[in-house]
Amino acid sequence: MSEDQGELDDWAAAMGEQAAADSAATASTASAAKPAQIFGSLGGDAPGSGTVQGFEMIMDIPVHLTVELGRTRISIRNLLQLAHGSVVELDGLAGEPMDVLVNGTLIAQGEVVVVNEKFGIRLTDIITPQERMKKIHR
């Protein structure tokens, strides 16, 4: 088995554990409410009448995904003084959720996970379009 395949298997196992935990939490709820539809359809079509074809058209469009630990602002003087081993303080706090941005737009927050010495992010909160609109109008 190649190293890449082993890493994929580790991630698949971690994702399987998360799915099992999620399904156990859902099963423990006596009256499971229907999940809210976060994203509306791409058109006025009835389900199954071409909507899938519309989604297929956009599935391979690449997007830029960013996970942001924090930010800081420093002067050019301090930037030029950075050397190997320098520490740059960020405004994010330890244990605080990380922001997940797609093409610069906040879509989720999550927590850092490590699987087989590689970093990943477990999504803990999805930002709805309504929440995004509230943040824009502030």
**pTM to 2 decimals?**
0.52
pLDDT at 83: 92
Residue 39 pLDDT more than 80? no
Query: Model confidence over 55-100: pLDDT tens digits?
Result: 788 888 899 998 888 889 999 999 999 999 998 888 877 778 888 9
**One CATH from 3.40.109.10, 2.30.330.10, 3.40.630.30, 2.40.440.10 for 62-138:** 2.30.330.10
CA distance 8 to 4: 6
CA distances from 117 to 3, 11, 121 (A): 13, 11, 13
Query: How sure is the predictor about 30, in pLDDT bands with cuts at 50, 70 and 90?
Result: very low
Query: Model confidence over 51-62: pLDDT tens digits?
Result: 667 778 888 889
